[in-house]
Structure 1
Amino acid sequence: MMEILDLSGSFFSNVVIVFIFLLKKPTMTSGQFSVIGPAGLIQASLGGEAELSCYLSPPQSAQHMEVVWLQSTQVVHLYRDGKDQFGDQAPDYQGRTELVRDAITSGNVTLKIRDVRFLDAGRYICLFEDGFHQEEADMELKVIGEETESQTLPPIYFLLLTMFWFTLYTIFLFLMLRYRGDQMEVLLSLLQKAMDDSKLKDSHWQMRTGVL
Structure 2
Amino acid sequence: MEERVCIFLLVLFFSHQVVSGNHHVSCPTPPIEAEEGDVAELQCRLDPSVDLRKETLDFTRADINKEVVHAYRHEKDQTDPQMDQYRDRTTLIHEDLIRGIISLNISSLNLTDSGLYTCYVPDLEASCTMNVTVVRKKDEFTTTRPPVTENTESEKPGAEENKRVGAIVGVGLFLFALVLIILRVLVKRRNLWMKKKQEAEKTPNISEMEKLETTSTEGDEELQKTLQETS
TM-score, normalised relative to structure 1: 0.52
Deviation at 1:134, TM superposition (A): 1.2
Counterpart of 2:80? 87
Q: Give the Cα–Cα distance (whole angstroms) in 2 for the partners of residues 69 and 32 of structure 1.
A: 22
Secondary structure, aligned partner of 2:52: coil
CA distance, structure 1, for counterparts of residue 100 and residue 57 of structure 2: 10
Larger radius of gyration: 2
Matched residues in 1 for 2:22 and 2:54: separation?
A: 14
CA deviation profile, 1:152-199 (whole Å, cap 9, x unmatched): xxxxxxxxxxxxxxxxxxxxxxxxxxxxxxxxxxxxxxxxxxxxxxxx
Partner SS, residue 95 of structure 2: coil
What is the percent sequence identity of the aligned residues?
31
C-alpha distance in 2 between matches for 1:60 and 1:69: 19
Contact 1:102 1:109 in 2 (8 A): no
Structure 1 gaps of 5+ residues are 1-29, 149-212
Match of 2:108? 115
The answer on 1:137 being equivalent to 2:128 is yes
RMSD over equivalenced CA pairs, Å: 2.0
Larger fraction in strand: 1
1:113 aligned partner, one-letter code: I
CA contact (8 A) 2:23 2:126 kept: yes
Q: Which runs of 5+ in 2 are unaligned?
A: 1-19, 140-231
Question: CA contact under 8 A between 2:55 and 2:73: conserved in structure 1?
Answer: yes
User: How many residues end up aligned between the 2 structures?
Assistant: 117
Query: Which residue is 2:44 aligned to?
Result: 54
1:52-109 superposed Cα distances (whole Å, 9 cap, x missing partner) = 0001011111111111000122100001110100110000101111001222112102
CA distance in 2 between counterparts of 1:40 and 1:125 reads 14
